[in-house]
Amino acid sequence: MKLIVIAGPPSAGKTAVARQIIRHFLGKKRVAFLKIDVVRAFEDEELRAEFGIPARKVYSGDLCPDHTGIMVLADALSWAEENGAEIFIVESAGLCLRCSPYTTQSLGIVVLSAVSGMNSPLKMGPMISLADIAVITKTDLVSQSEKEVFRERTKEVAPHVEIIETNAIQGTGLRYLMRAIEQTDEIEDPGTITLRGIPPLGVCTICVGKQEIGWQKHSGVVRKLEGADDLFRGD
């Protein structure tokens, strides 16, 4: 079984890309799908109804969705295996841009929307830099110049990442994504899969629900406004 992890900010077109992948492999490979979200998600129902594939979702509720994703992934792999999946697509909620749900032994796809503003790639950390492929969607809606600038900014963040531009609703230009999936190695040993990046620190009183603002009220990893800049080092 191959593992495909799709991340990206909300409404970038993650599900549209997943849908194109499923459509492409329909009848050739058995695909299973898992959506991780916070409050509500409909992708699993939609994709099950549309393609008749095993699909399910997990809600993280009060917990960070990427945290949830990491916790359930090992069980989810067993579930996909039991359902005879040859390709297992995991779609993250994609919220805080600090997390990167990509694992070893998988193909990591970040989905970015060209209409999200030219600086948006610069605002994302490991979600882009640890991905294998950046699929830039909605390129039909922006001018040639903005498309080109967006592309350069993405390369600035992740020089190695392969960029694929598409109108994901139509599925134009996705042939190399499909080829990359075909060339992705199968999972060798689910027991040895690890995250590609180090998860963010979650070790303070904010994480556990203390609501006061200001560092004086908190303990753990805290900083004043002055000197807070070096808090994030990233991968």
Partner 1 sequence: MDTCAISEITILPGHDKQGRPEKFDSLVIRPGDTLSIVGPTGSGKTALINDIEVFAQNDTATGRTVLVNGRVPPEEYIRDPSMKPVALITQNTKCLADLTVEAFLTMHVKARKLQDPGIVRETIDLANQFTGEQIQPSCRITALSGGQTRSLMVADAILVSNAPLILLDEVENAGIFREKVIRVLKEHCKSVIFVTHDPLVSLLSDRRVVMRNGAVEKILEPKGKERQVLEMVERMDVTLCMFRERIRAGELLVEKGFPA
Give the binding site for partner 1 (CB under 8 A).
Answer: 115, 117-118, 140-149, 151-152, 162-163, 165, 170, 172-173, 175-176
How near is the Cβ of 182 to partner 1 at its closest, in Å?
13
CB 184 to partner 1: min, Å:
17
d(C-alpha 17, C-alpha 30), whole Å: 17
Q: Which residues contact 73 (CB under 8 A, 6 or more apart)?
A: 90, 103, 193
In contact, 103 and 77? CB cutoff 8 Å:
no
Residue in the structure block whose two tokens are 């495909």: 4
How many whole angstroms separate alpha carbon 124 and alpha carbon 7?
12
Burial class (CB in 10 A: 0-12, 13-18, 19+), 19: buried
Q: Which is nearer to partner 1, 68 or 139 (CB)?
A: 139
Nearer to partner 1, 38 or 115 (CB): 115
Task: Determine how many CB atoms are found less than 10 A away from the CB of residue 17.
Answer: 26
CB of 170 to partner 1, least distance (A): 7
Estimate the crossing angle of helix 175-183 against helix 14-25, to 10 degrees. 70
CB 132, min distance to partner 1, A = 14
- Token digits of residue 98: 């600090």
Which residue's CB is nearer to partner 1, number 106 or number 120? Answer: 120
CB of 144 to partner 1, least distance (A): 5
Q: Which is nearer to partner 1, 75 or 156 (CB)?
A: 156
> Could you give the CA distance from residue 205 to residue 74 in angstroms, rounded to a whole number?
29
Nearer to partner 1 among residue 57 and residue 155 (C-beta): 155
Least distance from partner 1 to the Cβ atom of residue 16, Å:
16
Q: Residue 60 or residue 113: which is nearer to partner 1 going by CB?
A: 113
